[in-house]
Amino acid sequence: MVKARRSFFTSRLNRKICKSVVISGVFLYIVYMFLSSKSSNPKWRMIPDFTVNISTTTNISHLFFGIAGASNTWSKKKLYVETWWRPNVTRGLVFMDKSPVQNLPWPLSMYPPFRVSEDNSRYREYNKHAMPFVIRVARVIEETFKTDHDGGVIRWYVMADDDTVFFIDNLVEVLSKYDHRKYFYIGMRSESIVSNSLNSFEMAFGGGGYALSYPLAKAVAQNMDLCIKRYPTVFGSDQLLQSCIADLGVSLTQEKGFHQIDFHRDISGFLSAHPQSPLVSLHHFDAVDPIFPSMNRIESVNHLMKAAAVDQSRLLQQTICYYNKNNWTFSVSWGYSVQIYEDIFPPSYLYRPLETFIPWKKGANPPYMFNTRPLPTDPCDAPHFFFFSSVDENRVMNHIVTTYKRGSPRWLPACVSNASRSADHISKIRLLSPLMNRGWQDGDRRECCDVVHLVGMDSLAVKLRDCMNDEIVA
């Protein structure tokens, strides 16, 4: 009994054990000190990412773009790349199926450098995909990762098509929310139920672009060969990649600002009711009408970029307010459009896009992943549509002034008989927004607005501001 109560340390055997524990502890400590002194030497850094100071926010130099292009369409698609690419600032590569001979020389002052994709003939027996170029495009991430990228500086690999248009500041803003040292696959599904169902509802669409954090890109690149062999029949490159990523135990993080734009015709209704999220990308401009009236497609994109250059964080953000005197509702999509309705509609209704567009592919009813409003024919329900025309940064008044002009007459009868209550004579709207860039914080509300005054007969001013505590937009 007494013996059994003797403490651990008093037993001779245990004293011996203790001694050896202490000795091996000292030994491990010495090894640890040796290794940690070595690890401050760059040559000893096995995984450079662990030394990254997480508190340095992600900026544009931490992103690397891998763009899937094709030599026969480049002369057309390069015009879209030019709208967003910032020479000497953005880093990345365009991958071509073959040398784009007719586009040489290739000015690096305008585009990313190109690479011709590696020969994929060794995968011939695994290529039973619906499209012939699936393997080449899926391997863009692998080939991008394998290129030299300044030893550990890159945090995000951003994959895109040659007709993807990015809003870079917003892309950086969105990615900087996430820890690039973890496994992230960030993008968005298609707006079209049929597109998602053909591919996957859990997949980021490459046209909208998507980002892989460094460790995920590395794991995907290292396992690409196996993955191609495992999925010889999936529909497209994005689905092949999503399958590889799923096999690594990583699922899609959806960010609402990436847009595949699986629509046809007029997408003004969609662009006038953007979700409350930074606009990150747009795509498929060649599949839809020019987004501004009386401009061609490229001119339209460059026109939107004028607003983006002044305040990207507000771009397409929707704000609703009322002009009670006339019973009017205003719906603003910053830098793109203003709609005036000659009746009162609640925000919950106006946040649904007007269905100005048609489905990408028929086959699902409803066809879209979101609610829409049918195009009204009643003059009191149909909006007066004004499109972004110019931007002026007025630092004196501490406001940015964007101006919107009527696209075309409505070709509808007046809603009200009293002419001074009718919006038919309004041709121009000036929107004042506080100069400071709002930035984006999760949990922020949309901004509020006031209709300030009528300016002369044909124009009026609307002013954006922060909503007051507990303010209800009604």
Please, which residues bridge with residue 213 across strands? Answer: 156
Residue nearer to ligand NAG on the CB measure, 68 or 81: 81
Residue nearer to ligand NAG on the CB measure, 109 or 469: 109
Task: Give the shortest CB-60-to-ligand NAG separation in angstroms.
Answer: 5
* Buried b or exposed e, range 196-214, using 16+ CB within 10 angstroms: beebbebbbbbbbbbbbbb
DSSP 45-88: -SSGGGGS-TTSPP-GGGEEEEEE--TTTHHHHHHHHHHH--TT
The 8 Å CB, 24+ separation contacts for 96-101 are 96/69, 96/70, 96/71, 97/70, 97/71, 97/133, 97/136, 98/71, 99/71, 100/69, 100/71, 100/74, 101/71
Residue nearer to ligand NAG on the CB measure, 6 or 453: 453
Task: Give the shortest CB-465-to-ligand NAG separation in angstroms.
Answer: 24
Task: Give the shortest CB-444-to-ligand NAG separation in angstroms.
Answer: 24
Alpha-carbon 67 to chain mean position: 15
Task: Give the shortest CB-194-to-ligand NAG separation in angstroms.
Answer: 37
Order across the sheet with 114-116: list the strands: 114-116, 92-96, 63-68, 156-161, 210-213, 185-187, 252-254
Residues at the contact surface with ligand NAG, assessed by CB under 6 A: 53, 55-56, 59-61, 87-88, 109, 325-327, 343-344, 418, 420-421
Task: Give the shortest CB-419-to-ligand NAG separation in angstroms.
Answer: 8
Coil, strand, or helix at residue 39? helix
Residue nearer to ligand NAG on the CB measure, 343 or 471: 343
In degrees and rounded to multiples of 5, residue 42 shows phi and psi of -50, -30
Q: Which helix (H) or strand (E) holds 226?
A: helix 214-230
Task: Give the shortest CB-98-to-ligand NAG separation in angstroms.
Answer: 27
Residue nearer to ligand NAG on the CB measure, 120 or 327: 327
Task: Give the shortest CB-160-to-ligand NAG separation in angstroms.
Answer: 20
Task: Give the shortest CB-59-to-ligand NAG separation in angstroms.
Answer: 4
Residue nearer to ligand NAG on the CB measure, 365 or 418: 418
32: how many CB neighbours lie within 10 A of its CB?
A: 10
123 Cβ contact partners less than 8 Å away, ≥ 6 residues apart: 135, 228, 229
Residue nearer to ligand NAG on the CB measure, 14 or 59: 59
Residue nearer to ligand NAG on the CB measure, 7 or 324: 324
Residue nearer to ligand NAG on the CB measure, 155 or 283: 155
Instruction: Yes or no: say if 199 and 236 are a contact pair by the CB < 8 Å rule.
Output: yes
Task: Give the shortest CB-87-to-ligand NAG separation in angstroms.
Answer: 4
Q: Please, what is the end-to-end C-alpha distance for the chain in angstroms?
A: 82
Task: Give the shortest CB-51-to-ligand NAG separation in angstroms.
Answer: 9
Residue nearer to ligand NAG on the CB measure, 325 or 445: 325
Instruction: Yes or no: say if 308 and 167 are a contact pair by the CB < 8 Å rule.
Output: yes
Tokens of 289: 């009408």
Coil, strand, or helix at residue 108? coil
Instruction: Yes or no: say if 140 and 49 are a contact pair by the CB < 8 Å rule.
Output: no
Alpha-carbon 83 to chain mean position: 15
